[in-house]
Amino acid sequence: MIKLTAIKKTIMPCAMMCAMMLLTPPFLGWQTAQAAVQQQKSQIRGTVVDSQGEPIIGASVVIVGGKSVQGTVTDFDGNFVLNVAPGTQLKISYVGFKETTVKASNGMKVVIEEESTMLKGVEVVAYGVQKKVTVTGALSSVKAEDLVRTPIGDVSNVLAGQLSGVTTIQTSGEPGQNATNIFVRGQGTWVDSKPLIQVDGVEREMWDIDPNEIESITVLKDASATAVFGVRGANGVVLITTKRGQEGKARVTTNVSFSAMTPTNLIEQANSYEYALYHNQATISDGAAKGVFTDAVIQKFKDGSDPIRFPNMRWDEYIMKDVTLQQQHNINISGGNKKVKYFISAGMFTQDGMFKEFGKSWDYGYEYQRFNYRANLDMDVTKTTKLSFNIAGKVDDAARPRTGGGAAAMIKAIYNATPFSSPGIVDGLYIENSNSTADNEDGVMLPFVGDAPMTYYSYQPGGIQTNNNKLSMDLILEQKLDFITKGLSFKAKGSYNSDYSVTKTLTASVAKYTPVVLAQRDDTNAIIYDGDGNIMTQPMLFRKNGSDVDPTYAYGYGKGRDWYVEGSFNYNRSFGMHTITALALYNQSKNYYVNDADNAYTDIPRTYVGLVGRITYDWNNRYMAEFNIGYNGSENFAPGKRFGTFPAGSIGWVVSDESFFKPLKNIVSFLKLRASWGLVGNDKVSAKRFMYIPDPYNVNQNALLERTGKDSGAFGYNFGVENPTTAMGAVESAKNSADVTWEKAFKQDYGFDMYFLSDRLRTNFDFYKEHRKDILWQNNNSPSLRGFSIPYTNFGEVDSWGWEVSLNWQDKIGKEFRYWAKLNLSYNQNEIKIDGQAPQTNEYMYTKGHRIGSRSLLKFWKYYYTGAEADYLAEFGSPFPTQLVANLQPGDAVYVDLDKNGKIDGNDYAVGQGHTNDPEYITGLQMGCSWKNFTFNAQLTAAWNVTRVIDGAFRTPFTASSGQSTQGGGLLKYHVDHSWTAENPSQSAEYPRATWKNANQNYANSTLYEKDAKYLRLKTIQLAYDFNFPFMKVLGLNQMQLAVSGYNLLTFTPYIWGDPEATASGNPSYPLQRTYTASLKLGF
Amino acid sequence: MKIYQHITSGVMTMAMGGVLLISACTDDIKFGDAFIEKTPGGTVTIDTVFSNAEYAKQFLTGIYALQYYGLPYSQSVNHSSSPYVGKLDALTDAYQLHWNSNTVYNSFYSGTLNSNEQPLISYSNDYVWEAVRQGWIFIENIGKVDGIATADKNNMIAQAKCLIAARYFDLFSVYGGLPIIDHAFTGSESSFSCPRATAEETVNFMVKLLDEAIPDLRWAYNGNTSDTDDTNTGRWTAAGAMALKAKILLFSASPLYNADQGYYDGTTEAEKQHLVWHGNYDAQRWQKALQACKDFFNRLSTDGFYKLMEPTDPEVNCKNDANGYRQAYRYGYIRQGSKEVLHSTRVATVYGTQGTYAWWNWVGIGRHSYLPTLEYMEMFPWSDGTPFNWEKDETAGRINGTNGRLFYQNKVGRGGAVSKIPSRDPRLYENILVNGTTEQFDWNKGTPSGNAYELWVGGYHENWDVMGPQKNAETGETEYLLQEKLTSKYSTGMGVIKYYLGEEFHRKYMHWVYLSLDEMYLMYAEALAQTGDLTGAIAQVDIVRSRVGLAGLAAKNAALNLTTDKDNLINEILRERACELGMSNNHYYDMIRYKRTDWIVKPLHGLVTYRLMQNSKGQWVRNYEPWMGTHKDNGIAEPYRFEYETFQLFNRERQQWGKDPNSTEIKKWLLFPLPVTEVNKGYGLIQNPGW
């Protein structure tokens, strides 16, 4: 069955690809037809090479001045053939090279020069593009080819290490779930540090996009770059630009890739034998005479003679597949003529879930399929008018089990299970063991059964299938207004996004079978014994509980709709050495069906308006100055407090252009100094809306408290004697502050760009500081007897700072070997200044003065041993404190009495003893080389000064779904091997003595469970080969690249509780995936 | 805003064509501030509520929803209602909680509670201050409402005052003196200075509110007039308010507050400032409590309606026999129509339709394993009223042996049918689920039927909760070892039945009794005893006893000289309160009111029950098998002989057990710690002694 579905899923997309390719011959036919017409003119042959004499493949050669676009592209040897009269002007262009116009002559050799990236390159900035050389703000960007080296569903997963100043934490590998947190320059507030993400200038979600559609991703980091966004610009902005068509012949690119995925790192559980011994040992160390696992049971575990009743299951391996299939396919066509340019893309991405479905007829094992499409059109309606139209969308299908707790519930169930609770599915029967004497008349039975992990199969069988349909459109009109004044243009843009989802919930049931071993009995119903005195048993029976019922379906629907419009005037003109640009832009947006915190205003769309201004000036690309201003209104604030003004300015100086710099130019080819200052805002605190309106009251509340609780508006009451009618209630539902207004961040950035050795080594450095104030939050210093919920007010303060370095080296050795390396290193730190935390008894209990996300933990000292009291006194100068429990045993965790009051209590939790979940240092190294037709690329990512706190089954042995249990619960192999034991009383053990009695002591939240999660990982690696077969020309193929790549292949980390980015807690995450991919890229 | 409105609107309309047509067809085209202007329409504010009679009434109803409910029922509401916190009764010697995911188990039994944690009733997170605020908002604003008669407004104000007073009492009873809040905060106060009032001031504040309320309240919602329609049962009445006043004054007169010295060591700031005691002993306090009781009963004698439910009452419709007494007692507390209930609180309508009610559901799955202890079981006398005493009764053969009748006197009739005659106080069977009680006890008729609970080791219900089999590796013999399992319903050998009642209670209306008439009789008795009228006190106790067919207290406890020995009588009244008022918090209140730290340090016990079966030689030997199932199906006679043993509870011994009851380490447990965060806010909260 599993195989069948795999084949089904493999064949389907292949068939689709074939069907798409069948559509391509008309294009080919069109080319040949044109060639035939031009046969009458004379044939010109030529070669296009670069300055090194290397042939340029795929350069476009176009006849200048023709009525329609006529031309060709160069082949693998850089050659082209064109039927034109000699002397005709030909325009030769190639991405990254200067456009050259030459006269046609037979046997011509055209040398085209590489574009100077500094002068011609442009950067995407807020509401437009800027010449790279004149950019004074702090931004970093990544190009398409670096994003698609290895197929991934969500492009955010490869951003870390590619872009300086960007931190990502991928907490789950669940297909179709965006689980990656992105921070730009760390966290500037503890409330919501998510950056603003825009696709083609409109706020949209990053994970909806096929990476193949992306042209570039730019991250705007400082105030100068983000102030114009006003709204949520404070957390940085990620701009995603999609590809657009270029003038020239239709170019078809197809990508086909197949990947095998395996989970990155699963932590092993103890087997039944180890479990039993460890459980007995723990029981005895808690003071019992002996453990509950008898020798007979232990023997059964050891010899495996009764694999049904005494199984030894490694549940992760049993439940999860070793390897699953991922596919990503894309075909896109781009091209155009002078008037119309187009880019059309269709992509497909599928991922199989790693959970086995055990032959059930419905899908619930986390399959994910996504189909993306996009058409970007640009039309020159008149000489001065350009109209662009984008339409894009995705349709996705996700099937997952109905666990009630997402993927975490499945992983949790595995780690909370005992290895002997069930042998799984035997001969098609799902078996759960029993430890009742009636079912085990041979007298050998489990002391307890514990949790079985296949809850998704047996407890709430069925599944949840979601289908999402998203559609977005942009219409952009650009009108040159040179007739008014030269350099003036007008642009209007409107965007519309909608989505619709259907959630189908399947409910089924599955029969369970209990193995029963009955004794043989005689006529008097007495048990029969054999010669050795053993009970004679009957063959094993299976008692059926429940029944198999096929699923029934229930449906739920979701919808979303939002639109955005902007209108702007642009001005761009040079007067001699002076260049001035200016922008004035108005925008407004409306988002329908907003889910707010209180669900009170879902009927009211969320609205924003903004007015943006920007003026830039440069003199000869040498002295730059820029001023930005954003003026934004938010529905969250009262009239009068509603609009915020966010100015920012920056300056730049290209020192290397100065005459005094000349002597250095041989070494330092370019040096630019930059600085920026500015104010950026934020209006949101979680999902709160309309924080200023008069205190709202709720009336006609008829729910009862028992159902939902106060905060869900349950203020009805049941008066009377057996009265079925509930009296409705009314209540003051919130307290607002009319004074709330914008949260403000003052940002400073100082940086330089310095290139060495003829730009072979390029370096960038930025140092930044941010002071965030008026953070919207509840001030918990207010006494609770006030009797109302604390209103949100502007009072919080956070400082953050850091630096970023990137080094970029490109060179070649000989003619065939090029190599490059790019290193990013980012450091970010922050400090809470004011957060309204309720007053604490001791200074070290405050979160202020620490990094956001710092934890409050007891300080672990040592494992207890006889004589520890004296050593403690000697070390801390205060007597050994009363610990959390009364009777410490050797091997129990001992905590430090920080306030020296003689006992460990709530006042001994100190904040910020370790690091936090988001790393302070993150670095990425991308490197690659090419030799002949081979290209090799690798990306390494590393992060340090990061810790994670382990919890749940990863901390406490014998943790079952209901908490630690003497009668079940899961056990890690790591617990067995690395706990303090009487036999191995090591202070360097990872875990204290296993115990139930002193569990409050040993498993308290302490630094003992805060684990270093630094890592170095090989994020992507790719080896590609470009084929150059003679038949390719016949087919019109100009590119055929076969590549093998890997994603998350190697991770070096001291952290052993799964992947260092995943969560090992009471809610463990879906394992991150390791991917091996083969892909084929064809270009026509 | 105007400026760019002009600039933009002209161009915008020209250019936005296509997309605007798609998107804006449902909206008016607006720009700038006007675009944002759309704010929540029809927002209800305080002015809306208090200009509308219906909404104003709803507002009062909303305060009722914030009352205290004594059984944990939902984790998503307030602190004390969460099953993960736990119930006061589990801190007494009467119950041991056998589930480990709650504050009782993890902080009280372990002795690790500190002021960073919230105890069982939270100072800051139990809706107390919300209720107080809403109460004052109501009182301050109801005058503005048109369309409600003045008398009705006064009645509503009186109800609001009772709601405030009751919420104050809920905190006062476990924390002592509190800050006095006598108005609603505006929210714009620049600082709050609300120092803790003395215990006396707090008592006076509550009593004053009640005194103001009583004249304006109805005596009862008796169904006689449209005004006192019984669809309003559950609202505060004069009877409820007078009972609450008596309860507060009784608390105030109790030794915890009314003594020659503070309960801790006298050195603490809370004691010095008289926040946790009154600073002296004054006999007048008992007189005040007595007077409040007398006022209640005087009013009762004139206005009537309330009464203890008796077996022969038409509602109960039983006879004066063991079953009838059980049914009358059960009717008295569980039924919304009981005339014994002076005030009740509600959080739902019926079980079963609303599956989230955690009390009932979680008792069923063993999480609410508030298991009665042997000590509690021993408090219940024999069915004729003779006190129970394990040692004496064991010697006399009343527990084990041929005539053993710990719970039931079993007689084998024809065909092996066993008739079980209850041998103990009928209230025992309504508080404790014991071996031999039948699964059904008819809701309407009060007749037992169905299978008996098998709580012997290996019995159908016990299911190895108390003891479990284990094969001895050396001898090969199966041994039975104590297990006392967690998260199970019978680990002390007994189970909880009060407010649970099994399937019997499914889909029935429910409430929690906040104040009741039987409690009132016992309060009266206590006040009489404390003021020297011992005979009068005994008479009040006997009213309660006779309802369940028990003979007079004094006669049955001749050795205690109850008519002359006040201390013995007080002890007996406390015991009687424990038996009569199970699961009502009162046994916990008694423990702290009388500073009974000896109850805190006393190790508690469970009961092991063995089923005895006659072997072929005629000897009675233990059998570890269930009867229901194979045995019953194969015609084996229903077990009728048992053997009982006791054991000390060990699955989480309480850390306090065995300690010196007079040590400060134990005495600090008499009042809960105030949250340290609140103390640190510096508005005048002083921490309770020892925390």
Which of A495, A586, A722 is nearest residue B19 as measured by Cβ atoms? A495
Report residue A524 CA to chain centroid gap.
69
pLDDT digits (tens, 9 = 90+) for B77-89: 888 989 999 999 9
- Nearest alpha-carbon partner for B535 in B519, B522, B551, B554: B554
What integer pLDDT is reported at residue A708 of this predicted model? 53
B109 sits in which H/E element:
none
Chain A interface, mutation test: which of B29, B39, B480, most A Cβ atoms within 10 Å?
B39
* 3-state DSSP assignment of residue B32: coil
Contact A746, A233 (CB under 8 A): no
Q: Do B58 and A728 touch (CB under 8 A)?
A: yes
Query: What is the per-residue burial (b if ≥16 Cβ within 10 Å, else e) of A829-842?
Result: ebbbeebbbbebbe
Task: Say what percent of chain A tops pLDDT 70.
Answer: 92
489-518 of B, contacting A, C-beta below 8 A: 509
The yes-or-no verdict on residue A24 having pLDDT over 50 is no
pLDDT mean over B404-426: 89
- Nearest alpha-carbon partner for A278 in A1029, A975, A909: A975
pLDDT digits (tens, 9 = 90+) for A981-1002: 988 899 999 999 999 989 989 9
Q: Do B234 and A588 touch (CB under 8 A)?
A: no
pLDDT digits (tens, 9 = 90+) for A232-244: 678 899 999 999 9
What integer pLDDT is reported at residue B5 of this predicted model? 42
Contact A576, A617 (CB under 8 A): no
Closest-CA residue of chain B to A715: B62
The yes-or-no verdict on residue B21 having pLDDT over 60 is no
Q: Closest Cα of chain A to B299: distance in Å?
A: 23
A454 sits in which H/E element:
none
Q: Closest Cα of chain B to A565: distance in Å?
A: 8
Chain B positions touching A705 (Cβ under 8 A) are 65, 69, 74, 77, 81, 347-348
The yes-or-no verdict on residue A937 having pLDDT over 70 is yes
- Nearest alpha-carbon partner for A895 in A908, A876, A886: A908
Closest-CA residue of chain A to B77: A709
Q: Do B35 and A885 touch (CB under 8 A)?
A: no
Which of B18, B61, B231 is nearest residue A729 as measured by Cβ atoms? B61
What integer pLDDT is reported at residue B15 of this predicted model? 43
- A/B interface, count of CB pairs below 8 Å: 318
Closest-CA residue of chain A to B629: A438
Chain B interface, mutation test: which of A300, A478, A518, A706, most B Cβ atoms within 10 Å?
A706
Q: Do A722 and B123 touch (CB under 8 A)?
A: no
Q: Closest Cα of chain B to A629: distance in Å?
A: 14
The yes-or-no verdict on residue A319 having pLDDT over 80 is yes
pLDDT mean over B340-362: 81
State how far the Cα of A804 lies from the Cα of A806, in Å rounded to an integer: 7
Chain A positions touching B74 (Cβ under 8 A) are 705-707, 709
Radius of gyration in angstroms for the set of CA atoms belonging to chain B, rounded to a whole number: 29
pLDDT digits (tens, 9 = 90+) for B218-262: 999 987 777 778 889 999 999 999 999 999 999 999 999 999 999
Query: What does DSSP assign to residue B108?
Result: I
Question: Please, which pLDDT band fits residue A459 given cuts at 50, 70 and 90?
Answer: low
Q: Which two tokens stand for residue A977?
A: 């091997």
Closest-CA residue of chain A to B233: A720
Which of A475, A567, A611 is nearest residue B11 as measured by Cβ atoms? A567
Closest-CA residue of chain A to B19: A494
Whether B116 and chain A come into contact, CB under 8 Å, resolves to yes
Chain A positions touching B7 (Cβ under 8 A) are 586
Q: Tell me phi and psi for residue B483, to 5 degrees.
A: -120, -45
Chain A interface, mutation test: which of B3, B7, B16, B19, most A Cβ atoms within 10 Å?
B19
Q: Do A706 and B110 touch (CB under 8 A)?
A: no
Which residues touch B93 (CB under 8 Å, ≥6 apart)? B373, B375, B376, B591, B599, B602, B604
Whether B231 and chain A come into contact, CB under 8 Å, resolves to yes
Map B557-579 to HEC letters.
CHHHCCCCCHHHHHHHHHHHHHH
Q: Do B125 and A784 touch (CB under 8 A)?
A: yes
Chain A positions touching B123 (Cβ under 8 A) are 784
Least confident range of A107-111, A585-589, A833-837, B13-17: B13-17
Least confident range of A431-440, A1057-1066, B46-55, B664-673: A1057-1066
The yes-or-no verdict on residue B6 having pLDDT over 60 is no
Question: Please, which pLDDT band fits residue A203 given cuts at 50, 70 and 90?
Answer: confident
Output the CA torsion B457→B460→B465→B469 (10° steps).
Answer: 50
DSSP B297-358: HHHHHHH-------TTSTTT---SSHHHHHHHHHHHHH-TT-TTEEEEE-S-SBTTTSTT-H
The Cβ of residue B185 has, within 10 Å, a number of other Cβ atoms equal to 20
Place of tokens 């952290």: A1055
Q: Do B44 and A732 touch (CB under 8 A)?
A: no
Which of B110, B184, B678 is nearest residue A1000 as measured by Cβ atoms? B110
Q: Do A841 and B32 touch (CB under 8 A)?
A: no
pLDDT digits (tens, 9 = 90+) for B260-316: 999 999 999 999 999 999 999 999 999 999 999 999 999 999 999 999 999 999 999
Contact A536, A450 (CB under 8 A): no
ipTM for the complex shown: 0.91
State how far the Cα of B185 lies from the Cα of A786, in Å rounded to an integer: 6
State how far the Cα of A845 lies from the Cα of A906, in Å rounded to an integer: 10
pLDDT digits (tens, 9 = 90+) for B509-544: 999 999 999 999 999 999 999 999 999 999 999 999
- Nearest alpha-carbon partner for A234 in A578, A632, A617, A589: A632
A921: exposed, middle or buried (C-beta count within 10 Å: 0-12, 13-18, 19+)?
Answer: middle
State how far the Cα of A277 lies from the Cα of B138, in Å rounded to an integer: 65
Contact B639, B458 (CB under 8 A): no
pLDDT digits (tens, 9 = 90+) for B566-579: 999 999 999 999 99
Question: Please, which pLDDT band fits residue A477 given cuts at 50, 70 and 90?
Answer: very high
B99: exposed, middle or buried (C-beta count within 10 Å: 0-12, 13-18, 19+)?
Answer: buried
Contact A836, A780 (CB under 8 A): yes
The yes-or-no verdict on residue B608 having pLDDT over 70 is yes
pLDDT digits (tens, 9 = 90+) for A641-687: 888 899 999 999 999 999 999 999 889 999 999 999 999 888 877 66
Which of B22, B74, B111 is nearest residue A706 as measured by Cβ atoms? B74
Q: Do A717 and B346 touch (CB under 8 A)?
A: yes
Q: What is the mean pLDDT of chain A?
A: 86
This prediction has a pTM of: 0.79
pLDDT digits (tens, 9 = 90+) for B455-505: 999 999 998 999 988 777 677 678 898 989 888 899 999 999 999 998 888
State how far the Cα of A734 lies from the Cα of A711, in Å rounded to an integer: 10
Which of A495, A694, A727 is nearest residue B45 as measured by Cβ atoms? A694
B189: exposed, middle or buried (C-beta count within 10 Å: 0-12, 13-18, 19+)?
Answer: exposed
Which of A609, A784, A886 is nearest residue B35 as measured by Cβ atoms? A609
Which of A696, A727, A787 is nearest residue B43 as measured by Cβ atoms? A696
State how far the Cα of B547 lies from the Cα of B521, in Å rounded to an integer: 12
The Cβ of residue A523 has, within 10 Å, a number of other Cβ atoms equal to 5
Chain A positions touching B31 (Cβ under 8 A) are 586, 588, 609
5-34 of B, contacting A, C-beta below 8 A: 7-8, 11-12, 15-16, 18-20, 22-24, 27, 31-33
The yes-or-no verdict on residue B13 having pLDDT over 80 is no
* 3-state DSSP assignment of residue B247: helix
Least confident range of A358-372, A574-588, B522-536: A358-372
Q: Which amino acid is at B3?
A: I
Q: Closest Cα of chain B to A225: distance in Å?
A: 23
The Cβ of residue A153 has, within 10 Å, a number of other Cβ atoms equal to 21
pLDDT mean over A870-892: 92
Question: Please, which pLDDT band fits residue A32 given cuts at 50, 70 and 90?
Answer: very low
B35 sits in which H/E element:
helix B33-36
A987: exposed, middle or buried (C-beta count within 10 Å: 0-12, 13-18, 19+)?
Answer: exposed
Q: Do B349 and A633 touch (CB under 8 A)?
A: no
What integer pLDDT is reported at residue B191 of this predicted model? 72
Question: Please, which pLDDT band fits residue B2 given cuts at 50, 70 and 90?
Answer: very low
Which of A473, A706, A791 is nearest residue B73 as measured by Cβ atoms? A706
Q: Do A730 and B349 touch (CB under 8 A)?
A: no
Contact B490, B465 (CB under 8 A): yes
Question: Please, which pLDDT band fits residue A975 given cuts at 50, 70 and 90?
Answer: very high
- Nearest alpha-carbon partner for A842 in A896, A914, A917, A774: A896
Whether B349 and chain A come into contact, CB under 8 Å, resolves to yes
Which of A705, A886, A905 is nearest residue B655 as measured by Cβ atoms? A886
What integer pLDDT is reported at residue A356 of this predicted model? 86
Question: Please, which pLDDT band fits residue A192 given cuts at 50, 70 and 90?
Answer: confident
What integer pLDDT is reported at residue B206 of this predicted model? 98
Q: Closest Cα of chain B to A906: distance in Å?
A: 5
**CA count, 13 A, side-chain hemisphere, A49:** 11
Question: Please, which pLDDT band fits residue A69 given cuts at 50, 70 and 90?
Answer: low
Chain B positions touching A781 (Cβ under 8 A) are 681
